[in-house]
Structure 1
Amino acid sequence: MTSRRSFIAGVGAACAAAALPSLRAVADDGARVLTATDVHVKDYPTVQAVQWIGEQLERETGGRLRLRQYHSGQLGREAESIDMARFGAIDITRVYSGALNNAFPLTQALCLPYVFESVAHCRRALDGDVGTEVLRSFQSRGLVGLAIYDSGARCFYNSKHPIVQPGDLHGLKIRVASSDIFIKLIRLLGANPTPMSLGETFSGMETHMIDGAENNMRSFQSSRHFEAARYWSQSQHSYAPDVLVMSRATIEALSPADRELVLHTARASVPVMRELWDESEATARKTVLDHGIQANDVDMPAFRKAAQPLLDEYHRRPEIEALYRRIRDLA
């Protein structure tokens, strides 16, 4: 549940952002300029997919509807951007589903360990009724779900040694996003979870505040974390996707035709993002291996067994269990 302190901080961030002349702007020619944010770098697939959305909107409306994007965390962390969108200070943001778990509980089913067997399984679920239901759930708290972008397998990397068994994680300080699921998972595996933003992770490893982290291969490479962590372990413990959301106030202020155009274009951006993702992930893997990173497989049955108590906990939540079973039926 969002704390009072974080709520107030979010409101403050939203109000501050609303005061910026560059946000939620109207161009000199009267065009509506939508603002979008992402913590990832300019050439990251999610950033490029949203850029594609902007190009399509501008083309389809003759320039009447445009999009201005702030990548690389220019407008703050993901948690801040969620509140900024909810309160209408920005229009669109791409966030990791783990950051949405508390406010939007259905996203928890997408983040559970080993709920997805593969990228193909994940995409089948997200493209069907499961994805539709999760996107619909955002309307309850000031947002509209535009699209779900899958983001590959999350794995462990660290500066100490290869991780083969869960026991190899014992005592390591591992960065996690601020998500109860991932904090609990890291504890179950014997490591010490250390919540921090993606932008703080590199310096955290360099200064030995943490020993490693967990993320997908593309982020491992684009954030340059491979320069501080020499060991990559293919645990594939989560395929938690990214979500593209929009301020409900913004979309309701658009004309019905523009509203439908935005929704349609966002959905159409999913295969665009996936093609970019598949290409960039392969390139990222080659880059880090050429850099001398040691990559290894893990004892998958041992990891699944260690994660089972966490699954048991969420199985007792009827809403999450129902969605979990539907995902598993598509495996």
Structure 2
Amino acid sequence: MHHTRLFAVLVTLTLGTAAAQQKIILKAADIQPENYPTVAGLKYMSDYLKRATNGRIELQVFAGGQLGDERSTIEQTKLGVIDLVRVSSAPVAQFYAPVGVYNMPFLFRDSSHMWKVLNGEVGKEILSGLNSAGFIGLAYYDSGTRNFYTTKKAIKSVADMKGLRIRTQQNQVVLDMMEALGAKPVPMAIGEVYSALQTGAIDGAENNFPSYGSSGFRHFEVARNYSLTAHSAVPELVLLSKTTWDRLSKSDQMYIQKAAQASVEVQKKAWKALSDQSKKQVQKDGAKVISVNVSEFQKAMAPVYTKYKKDYGNLIERILDVK
């Protein structure tokens, strides 16, 4: 009997060790092209995990929308079809409402303020809250500031926005912001924007310098006016499927968390380099970079803040109070 029990214990330990050493292959999705800073961040995560686990955890990065557009990859991650996704926080608000606070126009005073918020109490609270929506919030990435760009009429004032059909992400705060500026928001996947600008289906869009310029989208070729409104700084999110998370060991969860956190500085440095390069490149190629009176655009946001005070009131105040 003693020998039988001992054998059973040894078998259990052996199986447990084998399970712990089993190779894990994870799929990560990003809609941006291979040379984009967010993809650089995910690839760093992949390299980190390979080094830290001697190749036992393999993170396969699928860039360029290979696994679907933003909404599709978010949904697939929620279901556990995709293990990890990098997306803008804007569409994630449809799955977890508090994330939507980051879409409030002119929410952050500058980059320093934004990172104090994201690395502080509010940022951590929102990441943790994503658990209830089926995600594990691993990290925030930088996405700079978003600005308007147009094909014909340059935007120099709020009055210039009137009636313009502007592509937006599918997010209610962003839609309300556009309407407050007098524009007509047109929700659309980013992969469709170039042809929509080219054919005149839309008059413009809004995004950061890399998406406008030197990323694979090259919107500057068909929309030559880029107005520095800096109306929003919407952070990127790195999300893991809770389904995937729950089947990982505690130690493997730790490896993934550490890999994500280590990738943030890599992504931020790559972001700054590409943003600076993109600005120079689009100007060299003849696009007009236009300064505007930002305070005029800020004042036009009063009705948006009034509308969302009830939804995000406490979060907005806490963010604005961060010094």
User: TM-score scaled to structure 1, two decimals?
Assistant: 0.89
Superposition deviation, residue 310 in structure 1: 0.3
CA deviations on 1:189-214 (whole Å, 9 max, x unpaired) are: 01111110000000000111001100
Displacement over 3 Å in runs of 4+: none
Query: Please, which runs of 5 or more residues in structure 2 have no aligned partner?
Result: 1-20
Q: Report the structure number with the largest CA radius of gyration.
A: 2
Partner in structure 1 of residue 235 of structure 2? 241
Q: Which amino acid aligns with 1:88?
A: G
Kept in 2: contact 1:122–1:150 (CA 8 A):
no
Is 1:88 aligned with 2:87? no
Q: Show the 5 A alignment for 1:289-300.
A: 289-300=283-294
- Give the superposition deviation at 1:288: 0.6
Cα deviation code 1:117-167 (max 9, x no counterpart): 111211111111121011011100211001011210000000112211111
Give CA deviations for 1:157-185 in whole Å, capped at 9, x if unaligned: 00112211111011111000111111111
Q: 2:115 aligns with which of 109, 123, 141?
A: 123
Query: Distance in 2 between the 1:62 and 1:105 partners?
Result: 39
Residue 224 of structure 2 corresponds to residue 230 of structure 1: yes
Q: Cα deviation per residue 1:97-127 (whole Å; 9 max; x = unaligned)?
A: 1101122111111110011111121111111
* One-letter amino acid of the counterpart of residue 250, structure 1: T
Letter in 1 for 2:234: A
What is the TM-score normalised by the length of structure 2? Answer: 0.91
CA–CA distance in structure 2, aligned partners of residues 103 and 33 of structure 1? 26
1:194 alignment partner, SS class: strand
User: 1:174 maps to what in 2?
Assistant: 166
1:132 counterpart residue number? 124
Distance 2:58 2:65 in 1: 20
Q: Bigger CA drift: 224-233 or 165-174?
A: 165-174
Residue aligning to 2:8: none
| 1:89 aligned counterpart, secondary structure | coil
- Contact 1:173/1:211 (<8 A) preserved: yes
After TM superposition, the structure 1 = structure 2 runs for residues 124-163 of structure 1, keeping only pairs within 5 Å, are: 124-163=116-155
Q: Give the Cα separation in 1 of the matches to 2:197 and 2:144.
A: 23
AA at the equivalent of 1:162:
A
Q: How far apart are the structure 2 equivalents of 1:60 and 1:150?
A: 25
Give the Å deviation of 1:248.
0.5
In structure 1, runs of 5+ residues without a counterpart are 1-28
Matches within 5 A, 1:178-189: 178-189=170-181
> Size of the alignment, in residue pairs?
301
Shift of 1:30: 5.3
Q: Residues 186-205 of structure 1: matches in 2 within 5 Å?
A: 186-205=178-197
Q: Distance in 1 between matches of 2:148 and 2:132?
A: 34
Q: Which residue of 1 aligns with 2:10?
A: none
CA distance in 2, matches of 1:150, 1:323: 20
Identity of aligned residues (%): 35
SS in 1 for 2:300: helix
Say which is worse superposed, 156-165 or 191-200, in terms of deviation: 156-165
Contact kept in structure 2, 1:145 and 1:246, CA below 8 Å:
yes
Matches within 5 A, 1:1-331: 31-221=23-213, 222=215, 223-317=217-311, 320-331=312-323
What is the DSSP-based 3-state SS (H/G/I as helix, E as strand, rest coil) of the residue aligned with 1:233? strand
User: Displacement of 1:33 after TM fit?
Assistant: 1.0
Cross-structure match for 2:9: none
- Cα distance in 2, alignment partners of residues 316 and 62 from structure 1: 49
Query: Structure 2: which amino acid aligns with 1:248?
Result: K
